[in-house]
Chains A and B, each alone.
Chain A
Amino acid sequence: MSPTNVVKPGTKPVQPASNVKTLQIDGKDFSARPEETILDVARQNKIFIPRLCELEGLSDVGACRLCLVEVKGSNKLLPACVTRVYEGMEVTTNSPRLAAYRRMIIELLFTERNHICSVCVSNGHCDLQWMAQKLGLTHVHFPYRYPKANVDASHERFVIDHNRCILCTRCVRVCDEIEGAHVWDVMGRGIDAKVVTDLNEAWGNSETCTSCGKCVHVCPTGALSEKGHAVAEMEKRRHFLPYLTMMRESQE
């Protein structure tokens, strides 16, 4: 009998605690509950994973593809925002390959519509702009599309500028899940997709909109803004979201 099989008297083999998973992110060990995602663990431990569609307090859709990470043993890249942790998982959040993909995705977003920061109300407070700087995007090498997109200023307090929209659907989700009004939705397919209010009516005519402004404040870019702001003046306030979520959970 080999010595490793001998169990010393008085000791028991260590049983892993049933509900805690241990995993490695970028070589460091972390523990997590099984229902948590890679992004949850990363966020708790101040590990940066880029993302644009994800917002704490809203459901996750895995649409922007910026949070893709490498997981050892999987030949596919997995979205950190929806991938649950498992025991012994080894995650790499950054690599030259991931960085290149992320930059290309941001580039594609810039080419898709007319993101002209110098005349944008959100200049300096924009998630897309910030993410591009953070990911080291210095220039866009794909040609721009320059679509003719509309601006709907029919609402008395808010404006939607489709030129700046990146279709993250945060507005759709916050209106549906938090406000419960479901004013916003997506219409059209592929490159022609756009967010609409009610059944593609002018926002000002919407009978369902409560004018709460949550959509405006979760919008990552200058697509949704409050009226009365000039270039670079539109700062978004999102503290309400974790607060509302927490209050709801405590009531449940």
Chain B
Amino acid sequence: MNLEELEQIAVTEREAREKVRHEVRVCMAAGCLSCQSQGVKDALTAEVKNRGLEETHKVKGVGCMGLCSEGPLVATSEKQMYKHVASADAAALVNSLDGEPVKRLDCPTDVPFFQRQKKIVLENSGVIDPERIEDYIAEGGYRAIVNALSDMMPQEVISEITTSGLRGRGGAGYPTGLKWSTVSRADGNPKYVICNADEGDPGAFMDRSVLESDPHRVLEGMLIAAYAVGASEGFIYVRAEYPLAIKRLKTAIRQAERLGLLGTNICGTRFSFRIDLRLGAGAFVCGEETALIASVEGKRGTPRPRPPYPAMSGLFGQPTLINNVETYANVPPIIRNGGAWYAEIGTEKSKGTKVFALAGRIENTGLVEVPMGITLRDIVYDIGGGIPEGRKFKAVQTGGPSGGCLPADCLDMPVDYESLAKAGSIMGSGGMIIMDESSCMVDVAKYFMDFCMTESCGKCVPCRVGTYQMHRILSAITNLTATEPDLKMLEELCDLLKNTSLCGLGQSAPNPVVSTLKSFAEEYRAHIHDKKCAAGVCGAHENGGDEKSKPEEKNEARELSEVGA
């Protein structure tokens, strides 16, 4: 495979497209599939076939279009989208292709939700068929790696990434260029490249969507990384709860291997790289890099103290580059367009765009990609469409169980790594859960503590026992049986866990509690002193405050766990 052959595939694919007069795109990502978009696609295909229009009309399954709450989504042109499409609407949609749009299903695309996004990672999502490599190549795919292999030294690739200012999208925001450069300089052979696709934050589905909508982008990112650091083997650690992502990744790897874009002597050079999948067995802590590496090695997924960092001694004791799905997905466009192009987007210290998964009490639930530095208000009210049913915004939770809850007075803060950290939360992997006045912040804190307690690996004492004790206190507060000394104890435990836990899970487990204690202290006081919950969520329950005994509609915890499913 060289650049000409790649171009030939792209040209053939584009010619085939030109013959098609109407392309009907049906979202085939997890969100829409779960509301029967497969049936919609089958019905549309059958309708086209019945009318004998296969030559000019093409029905294509594509990745996520973003507005998951309105699915199944169908796009008939760049400007025309339909929402809540059912199989029965197939005839009407095919009729509309050469006539007037179907009004009752119309999904306006000139709204801020679509207009204010800036798509780099998601540029192909909802456009290409994730199960066809030719579609990806036609959109300029694999050009970056072929170019890099023929025209760039590994050092130049790294310097391009460094120039771009890209930072790790897994949450901590470590400069990607620096990490690559460290691994490339580390002594040891072989070296490994790992893609962390163990996305586990409640309410977050960015990585899942990227893998389901554009898996080749991640493979290309890993290829470029492997070339830059000198690795010849890579692993994608993807959680087993994402069967569709796994299926599409397997297909993508097979296709890339067939075209000689993965395997030995790629593009006729001495560079060889192969990628294997490793499936996570459902432990949240395996998203922590050292635990993930242990799990890939076939050991129990528990973290170990760092240093040594994986860049020095990682998988099987070898230098290992480990990045998140979204980080790799950013790499091909950076190499294609140059680091300087990327560095123009975003803020001074946080470059580029970030994908956020909007969930909770917000009008437009779904996936958005926005430039760094946009304000929370723009995301919540403009892009997200505000809070439904005329309720009042209360808080936004970012960063999952490691993050915090930001109150209304943080709404005008720019969204970047530093600002979020200063406000007591973190960027995290990109989950944003919006809460309105019907949510009780103590209950939210308890929900996340319950998550950390059950997901603690049990290795170090502060996290194993501390999360249990904190959860016990928070349960007492939400049962309205807690006293003032309990609150003091809670603060002591927050401090202990933050400073003494072994890994990031334990160190950041107190964050939801600390941030709600800071911004919503009066709610804690009301629960403890006045035995009242303003949101009406908490109260004494017959089964001693058991989760399941709560009224369904008021139970934030249940709702969040459904979102994260």
Q: Which residues of A contact B (CB under 8 A)?
A: 61-65, 68, 76-77, 79, 82-84, 101, 104-105, 108-109, 111-112, 141-143, 145, 166-167, 185-186, 188-193
Contact = CB atoms under 8 A, between A and B. Distances in A.
Contacts of A191: 453, 456, 458, 464-465, 467-468
Interface string B278-308: 0000010100000000000000100011010
Contact of A112 (B454, B464, B492): B464
A192 B458 CA distance: 8
A186 B489 CA distance: 30
B264 to A, nearest CB: 36
A109 B461 contact: yes
A142 B489 contact: yes
B462 interface: yes
20 contacts: A62-B460, A64-B461, A65-B461, A65-B462, A68-B500, A79-B305, A82-B305, A111-B465, A111-B469, A142-B489, A167-B458, A167-B461, A189-B457, A190-B453, A190-B454, A190-B455, A190-B468, A191-B453, A191-B458, A193-B457
B397 to A, nearest CB: 22
B453 to A, nearest CB: 6
Interface in B420-436: none
A145 B300 contact: no
B468 A145 contact: yes
A38 B186 CA distance: 25
B247 interface: no
Contact of B466 (A64, A77, A108, A193): A108
Nearest to A75: B499
B33 interface: no
Given A62-B305, A142-B489, A193-B458, A108 B500 contact: no
Nearest to A104: B496
A104 B492 contact: yes
Closest 4 CB pairs of A and B: A193-B458, A190-B456, A108-B465, A62-B305
A189 B469 contact: no
B501 interface: yes
A64 B499 CA distance: 13
Interface residues of B, number: 32
A61 B304 CA distance: 7
A189 B454 contact: yes
B500 A189 contact: no
Given A63-B502, A79-B305, A193-B464, 7 more contacts: A65-B460, A104-B496, A105-B461, A108-B466, A166-B461, A189-B456, A190-B454
B153 to A, nearest CB: 33
A63 B459 contact: yes
Given A61-B459, A64-B460, A190-B455, A112 B500 contact: no
Given A63-B502, A68-B500, A185-B300, A190 B462 contact: no
Main secondary structure of the interface of B (DSSP, over half): helix
Interface in B440-478: 453-469, 472
A150 to B, nearest CB: 17
A101 B456 contact: no
Contacts of A76: 499
Contact of A65 (B283, B285, B455, B501): B501
Interface of B: 283, 285, 300, 304-305, 307, 453-469, 472, 489, 492-493, 496, 499-502
Nearest to A141: B489
Contacts of A145: 468
B500 A77 contact: yes
Contacts of B468: 112, 145, 190-191
B450 to A, nearest CB: 11
B500 A65 contact: yes
Given A105-B500, A142-B489, A190 B460 contact: no
Nearest to A110: B465
A84 B455 CA distance: 30
A37 B500 CA distance: 18
Given A62-B304, A68-B500, A101-B496, A189 B461 contact: no
Q: Name, among A68, A112, A191, the residue most crowded by chain B CB atoms within 10 Å (CB to CB).
A: A191
User: Which of A64, A104, A112, A185 gathers the greatest number of chain B CB atoms within 10 Å?
Assistant: A104
A180 B497 CA distance: 35
Contact of A109 (B305, B456, B465, B492): B465
Nearest to B466: A108
A167 B460 CA distance: 9
A199 B438 CA distance: 46
B349 to A, nearest CB: 19
A61 B457 CA distance: 14
Nearest to A142: B469
Contacts of A111: 465, 469
B283 A105 contact: no
A168 to B, nearest CB: 9
A108 B461 contact: yes
Nearest to A145: B468
A17 to B, nearest CB: 23
Contacts of B463: 190
B465 A112 contact: yes
Please indicate which of the listed interface residues B307, B456, B465, B496 has the most CB atoms of chain A within 10 Å of its own CB: B465
A84 B308 CA distance: 10
Contact of B457 (A62, A185, A190): A190
Contacts of B305: 62, 79, 82-83
Nearest to A78: B305
B457 to A, nearest CB: 6
Contacts of A104: 492-493, 496
B283 A189 contact: yes
Nearest to A109: B461
A108 B469 contact: yes
A68 B507 CA distance: 14
Nearest to A64: B461
A108 B496 CA distance: 11
B499 A190 contact: no
B496 A186 contact: no
Contacts of B472: 143
A82 B306 CA distance: 9
A101 B493 CA distance: 10
